[in-house]
Chain A
Amino acid sequence: MTAIERYAAPQSLDEALGILQQGEVTILAGGTDLMPQTKAGRIAFKPTLLNIGRVAGLKGVSLDGAYLRIGALTTISELLRDPLVVQHAPVLAEACDQFASDQIRNAGTLGGNINNASPAGDTLVPLIVLDAEVELASKPNGSVTTRRLPLAEFFTGPGRTKRAANELLTAVRIPLPRPGHVARFYKFGTRPALDISTISIGIAGIKRDGALTDIRVAFGAVAPTPVRAPRTEAALEGRPLDAEAIEAAADAARDEVNPIDDVRASAWYRKELIHNMTRRMLDHVAHA
C-alpha cells in the first residue's frame, strides 16, 4: 500500500480542484464504499487523501431553470425526503428507499454512488432513464471549468468512468418532467435492505393516448456497466401499449441483455427476471 503523504479537507471547490490538479489523489466523500474497499485491499490509497465532505455548495437539491440540480454530496437519506425530488423525480426517491440501510443512506452520497460505478448501483438506472447528466469541474489552467456528460455515457466498466483524474463530480442535473411523464423502477434482491441488486430495471417515457414515446429503458447488474436497452425501447416506441407490444418488448429485453453467472444469480435466471419484470412493469404502466 502506498503511504498517504497528505490529508486535506478543503472548504472551497476552488481549493479542492487545485489539490486534484496536482494528481495522485483519493477522494473521500461518505466513505461507505471507500472504507471497505481500501480495507479489503481492493483499491489502494493514492499519496493524497482529499476529504471533500466540507466543500461548500456541493450539497442539496435545487431548481436550475428546466433542471433539477442535485449536489454530489447530497446523501441518499436527503434525496429520499427532499420535496423537490419527490415532486419531480419520484422514481429516484423510490430507488433511494431500496438503497442499503438507514445508517448507510445517512452517509452515502449520490456522487459517491455514481463514481463507484457499480453495475448494480441503485441510483444509476433511475437516473439514466431520467436523462440525467453529470457535471464535472476541474481547474486545468488555474481557473475552474465545467463540462457536462449524459450519465448513460459516463460509465466505461465496473468502477470506471469518464471522469478524468483532475475532475470532481459536482452535481447531477435531471430535466424537469414533461406532461405525461411516467417512470418506474424495479430492483430484485433476496431481501429489501442491504442486498446488492440481482437485476434492476428502469423505464420512463411520455404516456399519451395509451402509447409511450421518448422511451428510456435501462438495466442494472446485467453488464459491466448499467446499460440502456435500445432494442427494447424501439419495440415500444409509439406503439399502443397492448399485450402484444408488451410481450415484444419483454422478449427484446431478454435477448439484448448479456448478464454473467455469479453468486447472486445465474445468467439464465437474470434473463428470465428481465423478461418477466419488464413485462410486469409495462403492464403496470399501461394500466396506471
Chain B
Amino acid sequence: MLLTHDIEFTLNGVKKRLTIDVTMNALDLLRDVVGLTGTKYGCGEGECGACTIRVDGETRNSCLMFAVDFDGRDIVTIEGLAADPKADALRESFVEHGAVQCGFCTPGMVMQASHILETHPDADAETIKRGLEGNLCRCTGYKKIVDAVESACCGAK
C-alpha cells in the first residue's frame, strides 16, 4: 500500500496541486503524471543530465529528486524554457551549429546551458565545458554543443 502526500508547486509558471506517492521521483511526476515528456529519462542515476530541470532557479537532476520535494517550489522544465524569450538565442544557436543529432540529450543540455549563460554571461569555452560536465551526449562529440553555447553567450558570431 502506497503512502500519498499532497503537494503544491509552480510548474512553468502555473500553480499545480497534486496527490502523489511519497517515494515517486520528480522525473516520473513530470513525464507520467503531468505529461511533460520534454524532460528525458536517461541513466536514472544522475550521470547523464538528460533529466535536468530548474528548481528555485538552480539546475537539478529530476531523477535524483523526490517529487514530494517539489512542494512549495518553483519548477521550470524544457517546456517552460520554450516559452522564455531569453532562451531563443540559445535554441537558435543549437540549430545553427548542428548541436543536435538524435536530440535525446538536448533538453537537458539546453536547460543546463541556459543556466550557464545566466550565471556566466561572459563564459569562455572552458567555463562552458565545466558547466556541462554533468550532461552526456552520445552523438555529437560535444564540440558543436560547446560552440553553440559559446556563440549564444558572446552574441551572434
Residues of A within 8 A of B (CB): 3-7, 9, 28, 31-32, 34-36, 38-39, 45, 49, 51, 53, 77, 100-104, 106-107, 192-194
Q: Is the CB of A102 within 8 A of B59?
A: yes
Q: Is the CB of B112 within 8 A of A102?
A: yes
The listed residue with most B CB atoms (<10 A of its CB), out of A3, A38, A39, A107, is A107
Q: Is the CB of A106 within 8 A of B59?
A: yes
Residues of B within 8 A of A (CB): 1-3, 5, 22-23, 25, 44-47, 49, 52, 55, 58-61, 63-66, 68-69, 71, 112, 115, 130-131, 133-135
Q: Is the CB of B68 within 8 A of A101?
A: no
Q: Can you report 29 residue pairs joining A to B where beta carbons are below 8 Å apart?
A: A3-B3, A4-B2, A4-B22, A4-B23, A7-B22, A28-B69, A31-B65, A31-B66, A32-B46, A32-B61, A35-B25, A36-B45, A38-B23, A49-B3, A49-B23, A51-B66, A51-B68, A100-B46, A100-B134, A101-B133, A102-B134, A103-B59, A103-B61, A104-B46, A104-B61, A104-B64, A107-B60, A193-B133, A194-B134
B3 to chain A, nearest CB (A): 5
- Give the docked Cα–Cα distance between A53 and B66 (Å): 11
Of the candidates A6, A28, A106, A193, the one whose C-beta lies within 8 Å of that of B3 is A6
Known: A3-B2, A7-B22, A100-B46. Is A107-B64 also a contact (CB below 8 A)?
Answer: yes
Q: Is the CB of A36 within 8 A of B46?
A: yes
- Give the docked Cα–Cα distance between A39 and B46 (Å): 13
Q: Is the CB of B65 within 8 A of A104?
A: no
Residue of A nearest to B4 (CB): A7
Known: A103-B46, A103-B59. Is A4-B3 also a contact (CB below 8 A)?
Answer: yes
Q: Is the CB of B3 within 8 A of A107?
A: no
Residue of A nearest to B1 (CB): A3
Residues of A within 8 A of B59 (CB): 102-103, 106
Residue of B nearest to A36 (CB): B45
Of the candidates B47, B52, B66, B130, the one whose C-beta lies within 8 Å of that of A28 is B66
Q: A101-B134, A104-B64, A107-B64 are in contact. List 18 more A-B contacts (CB 8 A).
A: A28-B69, A31-B64, A32-B46, A32-B61, A35-B65, A36-B46, A49-B3, A49-B23, A51-B66, A101-B49, A102-B59, A102-B134, A103-B49, A103-B59, A106-B59, A192-B133, A194-B46, A194-B134
Residue of B nearest to A54 (CB): B72
The listed residue with most A CB atoms (<10 A of its CB), out of B59, B112, B115, B130, is B59
